[in-house]
Structure 1
């Protein structure tokens, strides 16, 4: 946490042509996913140089981690109260964290029931994953990370009572560093999304925290309104009026 950046090598790689290609796809997907997630508090963990919550409309949004952030923290021990956040965004944190499962446990703890998490990661079952296996520079970002498959992420989320809502995979171009070759191979994005939908170099997954046995508690004013709507209409009459009405009835019967 004392480092000026959480993953300094990753930040440098994202400035390369291949990194810009990846982030262009991810930012578009993040904007689409978070735009319709509502609540009060949203946090982005990691990659503070990219505002991945810009399309969200929650009143309180901030970035946390290391570097140019509002809150510096350890991903494995989030300094937030339990059930205090409505949305957590995790862009490429799990594959470089020392204990990714603990990071997810902390995310589950700080999310409110029905809270949302959006995770971005590198796909090991892709051309990016093949590049990782063949990379000679074992310490170079992003190839040295612990790439987690979508299936493993889903298993972890299910163990933590999350329900996977949707997922997306993209960036089918081989892990080439030259911009001209990335542009020439761009046709693979269309073909890959059609013929190999889970084989993109990166993926996004959106999940919702489910809590068993929860029920909606209506405010008191709604219960009163419902009770009034169901109650029979009773006409109140004063004792004097009741007596006078009785006299009139007896008088009418007397006449008969």
Structure 2
């Protein structure tokens, strides 16, 4: 069962949520820069991390699964968020140059089908970052946060899932080394610097970047597509290269 949109919003408004936004958002920005002139999609609950792209990207869209609910985003201007069926995204093929998937895989009833849709709407030269709760980290057990629900993943498990959807892992990074307790949110930066050097496997979140495979494609089941929904209201330095399939 997915976390409700109100729960997600409340978490990212808290001090611990603000720290998580800063630590994870930094990794995404290091990988993609400003995404200038590109079409960017956030799938799941990605709005805390999309704001930095909105000014320079050609198009920025936040797609939120129906079971989760949707919020108006951004609040001060034309709405760019829409409610979607995660197994039949309302976008044409190969539309997006960059896709960020966060708070999406862990609680999906069918992660493989969700990623097949990511493959479909990703441009041939596009890049996707999948952010998931890390199996070895403390955050996987923090039920008071959105990261403490659903299925956590190891690096090997996430790489295998991506390859099943014909997305080839190209690099990975980690974030959230601070303990998931509110009174330590102010020390998140210190933990982030120390943890990445001293205990790299015990991060709270694993981020893996992948590219679209466009060769030796398997036959895909045809689904009825829906018309794209109009919003209701108006090499990356942190991504380490190498064998992403190793534990």
CA distance in structure 1 between the partners assigned to 2:159 and 2:198 by the alignment: 22
CA distance in structure 1 between the partners assigned to 2:153 and 2:5 by the alignment: 17
Report the counterpart of residue 62 of structure 2 in structure 1: 63
Larger-Rg structure = 1
Matched-pair contact (CA < 8 Å) for 1:162–1:210: yes
CA distance in structure 2 between the partners assigned to 1:208 and 1:11 by the alignment: 30
Compared with structure 1, are the counterparts of its residues 114 and 185 closer, same or farther at alpha carbon in structure 2 (3 Å cutoff)? closer
Pick one of 44, 47, 51 that aligns with 2:45. 47
Tell me how many residue pairs correspond in the alignment: 203
Matched-pair contact (CA < 8 Å) for 2:133–2:205: yes
- Residues 178-216 of structure 1, C-alpha deviations (whole Å, 9 max, x = no match): 2xx3335753322221122232111222111122279xx
Matched-pair contact (CA < 8 Å) for 1:169–1:201: yes
Compared with structure 1, are the counterparts of its residues 173 and 81 closer, same or farther at alpha carbon in structure 2 (3 Å cutoff)? same
Report the counterpart of residue 154 of structure 2 in structure 1: 149
> SS of the counterpart of 2:50?
coil
Summarize the alignment of residues 57-136 of structure 1 with structure 2, pairs less than 5 Å apart: 57-65=56-64, 66-68=70-72, 69-129=80-140, 131-132=141-142
Matched-pair contact (CA < 8 Å) for 1:10–1:142: no
Compared with structure 1, are the counterparts of its residues 177 and 111 closer, same or farther at alpha carbon in structure 2 (3 Å cutoff)? same
Report the counterpart of residue 17 of structure 2 in structure 1: 19
Compared with structure 1, are the counterparts of its residues 78 and 24 closer, same or farther at alpha carbon in structure 2 (3 Å cutoff)? same
Matched-pair contact (CA < 8 Å) for 2:127–2:211: yes
| Deviation of 1:90 (Å) | 0.9
Matched-pair contact (CA < 8 Å) for 2:178–2:185: yes
Report the counterpart of residue 32 of structure 1 in structure 2: 30
**Could you tell me the TM-score, scaled by structure 2's length?**
0.70
Matched-pair contact (CA < 8 Å) for 1:22–1:202: no
CA distance in structure 1 between the partners assigned to 2:188 and 2:52 by the alignment: 30
- Residues 216-249 of structure 1, C-alpha deviations (whole Å, 9 max, x = no match): xxxxxxxxxxxxxxxxxxxxxxxxxxxxxxxxxx
Compared with structure 1, are the counterparts of its residues 87 and 202 closer, same or farther at alpha carbon in structure 2 (3 Å cutoff)? same
Matched-pair contact (CA < 8 Å) for 1:6–1:46: no
Report the counterpart of residue 227 of structure 1 in structure 2: none
Task: Identify the structure with bigger relative contact order (alpha carbons < 8 Å, sequence gap 6+).
Answer: 2
Matched-pair contact (CA < 8 Å) for 2:5–2:71: no
Matched-pair contact (CA < 8 Å) for 1:53–1:61: no
State the Cα RMSD in Å: 2.9
